[in-house]
Chain A
Amino acid sequence: MNDLWHQIFNFSDYGALLGLVKNSLVAGAILGLVGGLVGTFVVMRDLPFAVHGISELSFAGASGALLLGTNVVAGSLVGSLLAACAIGALGIRARDRNSIIGVLMPFGLGLGVLFLALYKGRAANKFGLLTGQIVAVDTVQLSWLAGTAAVILILLVILWRPLTFASVDPEVASARGVPVRALAPLFTIVLGLAVAISIQIVGALLVLTLLCTPAAAAMRVTASPVKAPLLSTLFATVSVVGGTMLALGSSIPISPYVTTISFTIYLVCRGIGAVRTRTTWGRRKALPYAGQSEARTEAPAARLAGKG
């Protein structure tokens, strides 16, 4: 029992270990920021399946790079972008999109497995691409991560408002002149970039823990378009950085720590959301038809504004 505990949590020589994984912590913080923001749109646009599909091709790219001895981040970027382009070009409609992803996903995974089988290097590298790793982030990789993250953030800042509009209310957005159709493949590319850097830390199988869970949790507790992405970012960062720090010194991959934190946050948010729905938001619905009278209704509105 005690042995098992020490396998999972081991904090001896913690200070020295922390120094070793400084790069990973920085990478984790970057991923938290990117994952939290991109995840907001993943949930709004109902794209978790696309995330999963892209990540398998990204994995194929990364393992191909590992086999060839080239830059792994660059490899996963290539895989991601190919997947994003395929989905963007072939899957305009939601139904087409899902079946195309369903076709691409096993192909990518199979290709990745082939590359890894041929690879003769360290086994930890292989496993890491699927289930996450913390020590393998060297300075070159970190600069690739940071550079890609910067591109993602710049694109997001530019696209933010029209992308929100197009995601939640496409008909009116289109009538107001938002290029709704062009934004879909554009966002898929942003998503591809985000997936490519996420798999470096959490692994291809667990990317959704960064690109979906935190945003879904945030949207349970707030409907404010400002607070939702902020909370989502906070949740994602806490999950990755916290997971990395807990995983230090243990012999277990980082991903179970990250996914557990992320999932716990989601459960808590779901609970809070359920209570909110039944009390504040729900109580309003119990009121009789409000008509045009304004006076008595200011109170619940103000109460929500404080928390919303």
Chain B
Amino acid sequence: MISLRDAALSYGERVLWRDLTLEVGRGEFLAVLGPNGSGKTSLLRALLGQVPLSAGTLTIDGRPPRRGSAIVGYIPQQKSLAPNTPLRSRDLVRLGIDGHRWGIGRGGPAIRRRVEELLADVGAAPYADVPVGMLSGGEQQRVRVAQALATDPRILLCDEPLLSLDLNHQRAITELLDRRRRTRDTTVVFVTHEINPILAMVDRVLYLAGGRFSVGTVSEVMTSQTLSELYGTTVDVIRTGGRIVVAGAADASGSSHHSGSAKEAGT
């Protein structure tokens, strides 16, 4: 579904990553990890066709990425919506269907039914008519999932969708995404700071750090050796009770200390 060859992305002089070659298959769950500023969001922006690669090639389903493509769904890095936003959950989802079209657009029963369906699928039907600004973080994120699925995409790009959610809601959101992938073979690219909530469903990990990267299964990438090489300093990866804890200079997963990640981002 996604094919990157010798890809590089840089803003001016600053190279975020280079020589990235990666094939992501249909129905695959790819976790993208790395400290702040390592270029995770930028990778998604490249996949969305919003920034061009500075080198190499990228194809989505065999074609170059195109802005507004219906086969790609997107959940942005969380930013809560303004409290007075004059939209209800159902309206936000509807914008995902036809919000890019010119004109007023009166909706009609087909679109209304589709919105109901999408909301029900993610369990957001109870608050379909509640203003989005009044939803809790977890509720807003469910509605975001429904919106991202509005075009029935074959690839879902999620940018830190678990940020500031409690454990219950984290589980609810990851299960929604995993179910979608299993039932519809949707490819999921999941940017996260925290690998533990998705350990059970991750097929492969792309770890970005300091201009370099590492790709492989969780057990290949999340090791002291691999991460130490990536960061160029000693990093300890400890597996304990089904969880992965990363300790050392860069804590980009496990019990992450954000100050450590931020420092790493500057290098």
Contact = CB atoms under 8 A, between A and B. Distances in A.
Pairing of A with B: yes
Interface of A: 40, 43-44, 46, 157-162, 164-165, 168-169, 171-178, 216, 218-220, 222-225, 228, 277, 281, 284-285, 289-292, 294, 297-298, 300-301, 304-305, 308
Contact of A281 (B76, B98, B134): B134
Contacts of A168: 81-82, 85-87, 92, 95
A177 B127 contact: no
Contacts of A172: 74, 76, 95-96, 147-148
Contacts of A46: 82
A301 B128 contact: yes
A297 B127 CA distance: 8
B100 A176 contact: yes
Given A43-B84, A177-B68, A219-B84, A161 B101 contact: yes
A15 B99 CA distance: 48
Contacts of A43: 84
Contacts of B67: 174-175, 177
A169 B95 contact: yes
A39 B147 CA distance: 26
A101 B75 CA distance: 33
B127 A160 contact: no
Interface string B1-42: 000000000000000000000000000000000000000000
B95 A164 contact: yes
Interface in B44-68: 48, 50, 67-68
Given A161-B101, A300-B126, 14 more contacts: A161-B95, A161-B99, A162-B101, A168-B86, A172-B96, A172-B147, A175-B74, A175-B76, A224-B88, A285-B136, A294-B126, A297-B127, A301-B127, A304-B129
Contacts of A225: 86-87, 91
A223 B88 CA distance: 6
A301 B99 contact: no
30 contacts: A157-B103, A158-B102, A161-B98, A161-B100, A161-B101, A161-B104, A168-B86, A168-B87, A169-B81, A172-B96, A173-B99, A173-B100, A175-B48, A175-B67, A175-B76, A176-B74, A177-B69, A177-B100, A216-B84, A223-B132, A224-B86, A228-B86, A277-B134, A281-B130, A281-B134, A285-B134, A289-B168, A298-B125, A305-B129, A308-B88
Contacts of A174: 50, 67
Nearest to A158: B102
Closest 6 CB pairs between A and B?
Answer: A177-B68, A297-B126, A223-B131, A165-B99, A171-B76, A228-B86
Contacts, number: 133
Given A172-B74, A173-B95, A220-B84, A294 B68 contact: no
B129 A290 contact: no
A177 B97 CA distance: 12
Nearest to A215: B86
Contacts of B132: 223
B247 interface: no
Contacts of B147: 172
Contacts of B126: 284, 290, 294, 297-298, 300-301
A169 B84 contact: no
B105 A161 contact: yes
B123 interface: yes
A284 B68 contact: no
Contacts of A289: 168
A160 B123 contact: no
Contacts of B102: 158-159, 161-162
B199 interface: no
Contacts of A177: 67-69, 100
Nearest to B81: A168
B120 interface: yes
Given A40-B86, A158-B102, A223-B88, A304 B130 contact: yes
A33 B201 CA distance: 53
A281 B131 contact: yes
Nearest to B45: A175
Contacts of A277: 134
A169 B150 CA distance: 15
A25 B89 CA distance: 39
B130 A176 contact: no
B227 interface: no
Interface in B110-140: 120, 123, 125-134, 136
